Amino acid sequence: MMLSLIDIVAAIFFVTCWYGYTTFARKKAKTTNCIAHCLHQHRIHWMHELIGHDVRVSDASLLANLERNIAFFASSTLLVLAGLLTLFAKVGPVETVINSLPYASIATESLIQIKISLLVCIFVLAFFNFTWSMRQYGFLNVMVGAMPLDEERQNENLKRYARQMAIVQDQAAHSYNYGLRAYYFSLAALCWLYHPFLFMFASGFVVYTLYIREFQSKAVRAITVGQEILNQERDIEIKKQ
C-alpha cells in the first residue's frame, strides 16, 4: 500500500518542523540569550581560566564526564537501532496490534515498514551526531594537554588559543544537542504508527517543548544571570590590572 495523502502531508510537516526549528534556533541563538548562546560564553570563560591552572585534573574530569554522557547515548542508540531492525521481521504482529487499536489509521506491512524506516534513519543520524561529538571532545582534550601555563593570563596568543578551544567544545556540544534533538523527534515519529494526525500534533509539540526549554526556561534565565555576573567580575579584574 502506498502512502496516503495525509501520510505524505504528515511526513512533510514533520521534516519542516525539524529542519525549520533547527534553522530558527541556530539563527536566533546569535541575537538572543538562550542555552546555546549563554553556554558558549561560559565555555569561553572556562577555557580562559584554564590558561592559569597549573593542575588541570578537575578540568579533565569535567570533560570526561561530558564524554561519558555522550557515550551512553551513542551506545543506547545502537541498541535502539538493533531493536528497530529486528522489528522488520515482526511486522505482522505489529500490524495486528495497530489495527486492533481504536481510532488508529489502517496499517499494512509495507506502510509499517516505511514508518519504521523513518525511525531507523533518525537514530542513524543521532548516532553520527553523538560519535562526532565524542571525537570533538577528544580533539579538545588534546588541545587542553598542549596548552602552556600562564598564571597571569596575560598572553594574548594563549587567549586566542583558549577561544579556539571554546569553539571546538561548542561544536561538540552542538553535535550532542543535535543527537538529543533526534531523540525528541523520534518520539513524534513513533506516533505515526498510530495515526498521521497524532504524528503532526506530536511534531508541533516537540518544537514547542524544545523552544520553551532552550529559550524560555528557568535554566536559561539562571545561566544568563550567571553570564552577566562573570562579565562583571571580568571587568573588575581588568580594571584592577
Question: Which pLDDT value is given to residue 237?
Answer: 67
Q: Provide mean pLDDT across the span 195-213.
A: 95
d(CA 99, CA 34): 43
CB count in 10 Å sphere of residue 16: 12
Indicate the Cα dihedral angle 23, 164, 134, 150, nearest 10°: -150
d(CA 131, CA 125): 10
d(CA 12, CA 19): 11
d(CA 77, CA 149): 39
Question: Which pLDDT value is given to residue 239?
Answer: 64
- The pLDDT tens digits of the residues spanning 170-185 come to 999 999 999 999 999 9
CB count in 10 Å sphere of residue 19: 10
| Polymer length of the chain | 241
* Residue 2: pLDDT over 80: no
Q: Which domain holds residue 200?
A: 5-240
Q: Which of 16, 134, 112 is nearest to 64 (CA)?
A: 134
Grid cell, residue 173, equals: 556540544
Mean pLDDT of the chain: 90
Report the number of distinct structural domains present in the chain.
1
With 0-12 CB in 10 A as exposed, 13-18 as middle and 19+ as buried, what is 161?
Answer: buried
d(CA 165, CA 16): 33
Which whole-number Å values give the CA distances from 129 to 25, 123, 171, in the listed order?
17, 10, 11
d(CA 163, CA 171): 12
pTM for this entry: 0.90
How much of the chain exceeds pLDDT 90, in percent? 55
**Inter-residue contact 197 to 6 (CB < 8 Å):** yes
**Inter-residue contact 150 to 51 (CB < 8 Å):** yes
d(CA 94, CA 6): 21
Question: Which pLDDT value is given to residue 233?
Answer: 76
Q: Which residues lie below 8 Å from residue 99, measured CB to CB, with a gap of 6+?
A: 106, 107
- The pLDDT tens digits of the residues spanning 7-55 come to 999 999 999 999 999 999 999 888 888 888 888 888 988 998 888 888 8
Q: Residue type for 238, please? A: I
- The pLDDT tens digits of the residues spanning 96-123 come to 888 888 888 888 888 999 999 999 999 9
